[in-house]
Amino acid sequence: MKGKKFSLKDRLIVSLDTNNKSDVVSMCRKISGKVSTLKLGLELIYGVGLEVIDTVKSFGYKVMLDAKLLDIPNTVKSAAEAIGGLGVSAVTLHTLGGRQMLEQTREILEKQSESRAKFRPLLFGVTILTSLDDKDLKALGFKGDFLYSVLSLAGIAIDAGTDGIICSPNEVDAIRKKFGTGFYIATPGIRLPGDAAGDQKRINTPEEAMSRGADFIIVGRSITTREDVGGTIDLYLEKIERALGHA
């Protein structure tokens, strides 16, 4: 899959951080098809239910299901098999689950895809959450800093055949230098100058993320809380286009 040509609107994934279905419908209308994919996370899944996937798809969007799967391999494999029937384009899982969990998840989705003659969802492995820094990792018992940890987890995911990596924009260039370009990178923790960091600690601009080698950027509140959602998306797309033109 790596190497596919993307349109500009494929590059920006908008995260819907809400637990209200009416907010989802409103946001789908405000976004007005300016991006291809919307990310639906845990707040929305538990607040509204999985039927929200069909709601979003009815507006013509693809869905990244941010399930962040993490459990023993058999449990995650079974969960992924169920997710495979939901018609989503991508799903996230934690690389901390280890190589066996990642491999078995990919294998069951590939088998399911072959039996149904349909494309399987892309798998994106979450490395270290952007809300964590070196101090947090030390408290959790990690032996290295966040860059060491991200690179280690990215390597496990890539070896397991995971389609993409999710990391902060600040680790993208190091991952590309070490592992190449045969996989996708999607980066949350994206902010415009002047935006509040919120609960994110490892952040950067859309231009930096794309110029360092990211394929996609994931943006939530910095877009969805703006009065002019469409205009803000246009601004992000302009910055992405500029960065890609100079990459």
Tell me the per-residue pLDDT of 123-141, one tens digit each, with 9 for 90 and over. 999 998 888 888 888 898 8
Mean pLDDT over 98-121 rounds to 92
Per-residue confidence band for 146, with pLDDT thresholds at 50, 70 and 90: confident
Q: Which residue has the higher pLDDT, 200 or 226?
A: 226
Mean pLDDT over 171-197 rounds to 87
List 9, 30, 57, 68, catalytic entry: 68
Inform me whether the pLDDT recorded for 55 exceeds 70.
yes
| 68: annotated active-site residue | yes
pTM of the model: 0.92
List the beta bridge partners of residue 140. Answer: none
* Residue boundaries of the structural domains of the chain: 9-246
Given 3.40.50.300, 3.20.20.70, 3.30.710.10, 2.60.40.10, which CATH number is that of 9-246? 3.20.20.70
